[in-house]
Structures are given as C-alpha cells and as structure tokens.
Structure 1
C-alpha cells in the first residue's frame, strides 16, 4: 500500500522524471513538477517555453500531466495510462514531416507531440533485463546529475520521529534541480527511511542532511561521493 501511495503523493513521478532528466540531459522545473491538466490534443501547445505561450521555463524540460482538472473533472483524452514526448522541429523539413505524418502540433507547427495511450510497465522491464544480461547493453543510465528528489515534510515533524520514506506518513519526494539540492544540503527521499529526526521540521519544509541522524552505510557513502563529485559546478549553477 505504501508503494502505491507514492504514486499518488507525487514521489513516484518525481523519481521517474529525475531518472529521465539525468539520462537524457534534460532540465527539471525550478520548484518541482507542476502536474498541469492536459489531454493529448493540447500537449504540443502546453509544453512549450513560456516565451511563446507554453508553460515550461525553458526548452528541454521534464514535466508530468494530470488526468484531472483542478476541480476534479476528468481531462478529455487524458494520458492516465500513457507516455508522451513533445518535439521541436529543427528545420522546415521536420516541420513539414510533422504535418505529413499526422502528428498533433501547436498552432505554429513547430512543436509536435508523440504519445502512447498505454504503458506496459513490468512487461517492458524484460527488455531492459534481457538487453543487460544477453548483450551487455543499457537501455538507460544516468549521465548527468540534473535532477534530484528531495524529502519534504508532509506535516509538522517532531524531534525523534522516524521517517518512513516514499509513500509514507512523514515525507514525500519533490523533484528539484540537483544544483539546488546540493546547495541546500537537502536529504534525498531515497535515504529518508528508518532515520530519526534531530530537530523539528515544519510542514512543507525540505529536509536537510543535518535534520536527521543518518548512519554511515555504503549507500550513504556512495551518495556522499556523488555529491562531492558534482558539488562544485552544481553550487555555482545554483548561485546564478
């Protein structure tokens, strides 16, 4: 039940988008995923930079759509079970191809959406397993550290409380730029499980390493090593 709750409290989406951003060198929203309500017909219009009428802070950014309007009404032709990507035509030939092949575009014709209304999840996992085991090939791996998923207090937390991780009662995972996470010393959601707090944390506040008694485990050491390797350029980027 806790795992499925992580699908509903935004943690699962944040982890997946961090994986995509870090594997594909994409940016993440400055203050977390927005989950805008959007159906397949509006993808290419909505997921453009703000400068040309979209909602994205910039091009090349991850985002997740909601299948419900803010008032609870269902979105027409939603992608509840599906996946999508929005493309920008690099030239006139690609733009013409969008039209000729029937892709749904924005009004300019330069942005197009490709989508599937389904996502086979566990069934697709076999492709990655077999590719790794039989061919020694990865179907996706982190090459950058663009996005991080940090632990945020779901409610007011008290000193001595034990965090219960993603999908639990204490924290949820928020996607933020890795530069911001490192600059703030944020506690990653993956390590916010089974550790006790050493100070009170208000509801909605991002937890920091200094807020919890985190043991020196191999996993923690690996994370700290990664932070050390990325810290200098990331902190500089956060200051810009």
Structure 2
C-alpha cells in the first residue's frame, strides 16, 4: 500500500500521528519543518538544537503558527528529546559525525527509528550503526530528499527491473583546483563576496565542503556501502558530463568511458575542465546508468526514446533535482509505517580518508570537513585500512604528532586521538570486524545481473 494509504489507515485505526524528534534545525531541518503543518499524520512535538532561540525564529520563518510553536518543546538537550515518550522517529540532522553516532545509539536504546540526515556519521561508521539498529528492532535510514537516498532508489529500481547497474551517483560543480579551497577562498569560486554570503546566512565551511570534494566523497561512500557498488580506489574523477552524455561517460574505460569497471559510484561535474559550463548539466540531480541485458532490451531502449551510447546498450535514468528536507516525510513514513529504510548501510565497502590540503606540521590541529587543513577523498575500505588512513569524520580537533606533506593521506599514526571516544571506538570496532572478514552489517548488496548477448 502507498505511504499515504498506510497513514490514512493508521489514523483511522486510532494509532495517532507519527511523532518526530528533530535533532538539529539547520537548513535541512528547516525545510522538513516547513512541510509539517500540511503533512498528513506527522507531528514534531520536540526539537533539540544548540541555539533554541534561533529555532523559534526558524519556525516563524517557515510558516508555523504561534500556537503550534508554543505547543512544541524546544531546547538544547538532544538526549532528552530522543528519550521522550511522545517520539516514534528521530531525525538526526546535526551534520556532526560524533554527535550523530551518539544520538543514533541513544535512539536505538530507546526503541526509536532513526532517519540519518547526518551522512557524515554514516560515512564514518554507518554499517556498525545499521547493525545496532537491526539488533534493537528499529530502522536506520538514509534521508529521502538528500542525494544518497535518491541514488539508492534509482539503483534499486534498476536492479528490480533486471538491469546491470554500470554506475550511479550525482552531479556537482567541480574543478581540480577546488580541492585546495578553504573558507577564505570559497566564495570566490561561487562568484560571491564574503559580505554577500554572510547576508544570505551561508556557512563558509559547509559550502567549502561541497566545493572541495569532501561532501561528494562522503555521499558516495554512503551510497557504495548501501548498494554494494564499488568505489574508485584513487578517488572520484568528477568527469564533466551533461545528462545526454551519461551513457558515454559512465561506462568502463575499456569501452571509452571513465570507469575502472562496471558497477561503480561516480560524481559528474557541471563544469568542463577549462571552466566552461557543461551542456544540460546534472549539478542538482542524481543518476543511474544501466546496461541492456539482451539485444532485445537494447532495441527497446531505442524504441522508447532513451539516450544511449553509440553501442545502444548503455543508457541512463536520472532525476534532475532534489529537494532535501522538503522530501524527508518519505523516510519518516517509510520507517514508521513500513518498518523499511529509504536506503541503509549494508557493508563496509568504501571510506573517505583525510588528505592534507597543504604541508601540515606536527603540533597543528586538524579542522576537519570544509576547513583549512584537510579534504576528504573517496577510496575503498580495503585501501583505507591497508594504509591506516584517518577517516575524514575523525579529522577534526585532533593534533598532528607528525608532519604530513600536501596531498598525502593523514593516518591514524599521525595524530593523537582518544581511543575511548565513542565515535573513535565504534569506528575502530568496524575496522576490526572488517579485517576479521565479518562486515558490521548485513552484506554488500545484491550482485548485478550479467549482461548477455
């Protein structure tokens, strides 16, 4: 039954609305909150944020009436909000991986489903979190509306139809020089002044994470770990590609494309390498490329208007936009009504490692995602563990004990880090499980069907 039908039946049965605790009321949270007043069967009785006063202003700004605001508990104690009796689903939207891990585990202990907007936490230790959620009998879900969940949906569609997935991913604005971008230079790349950015309430570190490649790597790691698709060991290549070129660019290199092999994640750039805009770019969207399993299916691609490569066998499906928090109800309802996630980590296949943006000196403190010292590069979990790489999710507020050259991967052995920290301990347990041959989740996803002549 459709989600709205399930909600109508829930309400008719007297079970009441699905009750959500929102942890972190930034842009994503605000967009979700904007939809709540007009949403069937969803309420938000409690919101936790480090700045409760700002939250009240946010609620007014997204159109909540005074009586609804007054009836909502707003504070800064996330754990109290999670433990509240009138909560069924916890939406974790802080963007802080350590906080996300702490909040998710508290929700599992309280028997609450978790919608993890915090993809940083999933990239750091998502498979371990998903295993704990399953053991507690609750759902750990990616956030519908954010690109990783939408990519997972496209992958599932393709596999359910019997197609081999060649590649899946999203679009972004990328040039190689962006890897060195810092919060001081980020607005130059967006064509804004710092004053204009401040006036628009834009966060330099967050926007820099999108620009320097870190956010793309984090999101693609989450997709790889949820779908079983492979990550490129040497990092994302960001090939320039518009929607009409996806079947050409996102096929194996041996066939003239940009992939190391079939079945990979990749992000396409909306800019040519010389800075010119790509024609019909996919900057705000997501895609999956598929391969026809038979000559008959390839003929059907042509008959029904799919754009293909020159062989006629590779085609693409895509969604040109995503609406982040405006679409989040899909995850909330799926978790509460179906007991199903809209994407969830299934195995530890990909990782995001910290790479020095410049020469770093022993004694310096790393400032993490979107900062001045490191950016996050996608790789395989095996390659990350082989060199003892420090994940980007733990590269914040830690002191270097050894110098690291620009472009080099920062390793666990290069930093002083507290092994008793909850996020560190969970990540180390995930690594130990992987080395022992037992992924900290349920597997790596179904194998893609092999194409035949």
Give the structure-1-normalised TM-score. Answer: 0.94
Q: Which has the higher contact order (CA 8 A, sep 6+)?
A: 1
C-alpha deviation, 1:219, in angstroms:
1.0
- C-alpha distance in 1 between matches for 2:355 and 2:366: 11
State which of 208, 219, 239 in structure 2 corresponds to 1:16.
Answer: 219
Say if 2:401 is the partner of 1:228.
no
C-alpha deviation, 1:136, in angstroms:
2.1
- C-alpha distance in 2 between matches for 1:104 and 1:138: 31
Post-superposition Cα deviations, 1:87-108, rounded to whole Å, max 9, x if no partner, equal: 0111223212212221110011
Please give the secondary structure, in 2, of the residue aligned with 1:104: coil
Say if 2:289 is the partner of 1:86.
yes
Q: Which structure 1 residue ranges, 5 or more long, are not aligned?
A: 235-240
C-alpha deviation, 1:204, in angstroms:
0.6
- C-alpha distance in 2 between matches for 1:165 and 1:16: 16
State which of 214, 218, 222 in structure 1 corresponds to 2:422.
Answer: 218
- C-alpha distance in 2 between matches for 1:97 and 1:167: 45
Match of 2:367 in 1: 164
C-alpha deviation, 1:212, in angstroms:
0.8
Please give the secondary structure, in 1, of the residue aligned with 2:407: coil
Give the structure-2-normalised TM-score. Answer: 0.50
Say if 2:61 is the partner of 1:61.
no
C-alpha deviation, 1:132, in angstroms:
1.7
- C-alpha distance in 1 between matches for 2:399 and 2:256: 45
Match of 1:5 in 2: 208
Please give the secondary structure, in 2, of the residue aligned with 1:36: coil
- C-alpha distance in 2 between matches for 1:126 and 1:190: 27
- C-alpha distance in 1 between matches for 2:261 and 2:233: 11
Please give the secondary structure, in 2, of the residue aligned with 1:148: strand
Please give the secondary structure, in 1, of the residue aligned with 2:401: coil
Please give the secondary structure, in 1, of the residue aligned with 2:346: coil
1:87-236 to 2 correspondence within 5 Å? 87-215=290-418, 216-232=420-436
Post-superposition Cα deviations, 1:93-144, rounded to whole Å, max 9, x if no partner, equal: 3212212221110011110011122111222222112222333211111112
C-alpha deviation, 1:233, in angstroms:
5.0
User: Which has the higher mean CA deviation after the structures are superposed, 125-134 or 23-32?
Assistant: 125-134
Match of 2:248 in 1: 45
State which of 23, 28, 31 in structure 1 corresponds to 2:231.
Answer: 28
Match of 1:238 in 2: none
- C-alpha distance in 2 between matches for 1:142 and 1:71: 37
User: Which has the higher mean CA deviation after the structures are superposed, 101-110 or 129-138?
Assistant: 129-138
C-alpha deviation, 1:200, in angstroms:
0.8
Choose 1 or 2 for highest CA Rg. Answer: 2
Q: 4+ runs of 1 displaced by more than 6 Å?
A: none
RMSD: 1.3
Post-superposition Cα deviations, 1:31-57, rounded to whole Å, max 9, x if no partner, equal: 000111111111101111111111110
C-alpha deviation, 1:232, in angstroms:
4.5
- C-alpha distance in 2 between matches for 1:170 and 1:125: 33
Q: Which structure 2 residue ranges, 5 or more long, are not aligned?
A: 1-202, 439-453
Match of 1:237 in 2: none
- C-alpha distance in 1 between matches for 2:300 and 2:335: 34
